[in-house]
Amino acid sequence: MQDHSVRERRPKGALVFVDQEGGTSSTFEKLPPRTAAVRFSNRRTAFRAGRATGLALRRAGVDVDLAPVLDLRGGPLGSRHFARPAFALAFARGLGAGACVKHFPGLGTARVSTDESPHVRAHVVPRELAAFRTAVRAGVPCVMVGHAFYPRFGPRRASFNQAAYRLLRNSGFEGVAITDSLSVFGSRYAVFGALASTRAGADLLLFTNGADAGRVIRALVPLARRGLLDEHVARVLRLRHSLGLGNP
């Protein structure tokens, strides 16, 4: 997955993702949600905001919102955290087929964001994991896997780690697993990060640098020709069909 400016022409047949969390983390400043996640105080309001956001994004030609954040409050994302997991889950229900919860398995125990440092450490905690499992049971179609390191998974960060994707799949999740932005590691590591994430279990790779995304695509072609990406492609195609999109 490659980042495109909202002012640029989108590739024909593209499956379009944006960050539209509300507050400072919004691709479209004039579209809902009108408030940051931390300000929601009940499920009903969060659900309505999610539904309004989903409708507005579809009118803008967007298919999936990389939201909501399910990481527990107290983590490093400030106003992007919901006060309670129940409010985040309600927002996801409002978004419906266009929701993509993040950042599995949770950043609530991290001191800083993975956008600020490539060496973030966190812990898998039952309450945080429970929120993701509830989202999976509710049928969320997309989950973003984060870049933090977790003692439970060993020396590799979650997005590069088979154990993290195994934990996600063992929860019953059959949808699309997407990485957090691999561009945070810099162009030098673009291909390495992409191959590591794909081999670990990621279905989609997120980049905010078009040139790096192009290099990664070329690096993945040999794997595709050998049929090693078929399972990932099948999940993405199911997501496209669930959103009313045909094959690209």
Give the type of residue at 243. L
Residue 114's Cβ-side half-sphere holds a number of Cα atoms within 13 Å equal to 26
Q: How confident is the model at residue 2, as a pLDDT?
A: 42
* pLDDT tens-place string over residues 180-226: 999 999 999 999 999 999 999 999 999 999 999 999 999 999 999 99
* pLDDT tens-place string over residues 44-100: 999 999 999 999 999 999 999 999 999 999 999 999 999 999 999 999 999 999 999
Q: How confident is the model at residue 5, as a pLDDT?
A: 61
Domains of the chain with bracketed CATH: 17-242 (3.20.20.300)
Higher-confidence position of 4 and 87: 87
Q: How confident is the model at residue 6, as a pLDDT?
A: 67
Q: How confident is the model at residue 9, as a pLDDT?
A: 74
Of 179, 211, 174, 176, residue with least CA distance to 195: 179
Exposure of 74 by Cβ count < 10 A (0-12 exposed, 13-18 middle, 19+ buried)? Answer: exposed
Instruction: Spell out the residues 6+ positions from residue 61 whose beta carbon is closer than 8 angstroms to its own.
Output: 10, 16
Q: How confident is the model at residue 97, as a pLDDT?
A: 96
- The C-alpha atoms of residue 176 and residue 15 are separated, in whole angstroms, by 12
Whether residue 31 contacts residue 56, with contact meaning beta carbons closer than 8 Å, is answered with yes
Whether residue 213 contacts residue 14, with contact meaning beta carbons closer than 8 Å, is answered with no
Distances (CA, A) of 20 to 15, 29, 49, 98, 210: 16, 9, 11, 11, 20
Give the mean model confidence (pLDDT) for residues 125-142: 98
Q: Is the pLDDT of residue 11 over 90?
A: no
* pLDDT tens-place string over residues 22-46: 988 999 999 999 999 999 999 999 9
Higher-confidence position of 247 and 46: 46
Q: Is the pLDDT of residue 117 over 50?
A: yes
- Centre a 10 Å sphere on the Cβ of residue 9 and count the other Cβ atoms it contains: 7
Q: Is the pLDDT of residue 140 over 50?
A: yes
- The C-alpha atoms of residue 107 and residue 124 are separated, in whole angstroms, by 9
Of 95, 108, 107, residue with least CA distance to 139: 95
- Stated as kind and residue range, the H or E segment containing 45 is helix 43-59
Q: How confident is the model at residue 248, as a pLDDT?
A: 78
Look up residue 160 and give its two tokens. 């590069």
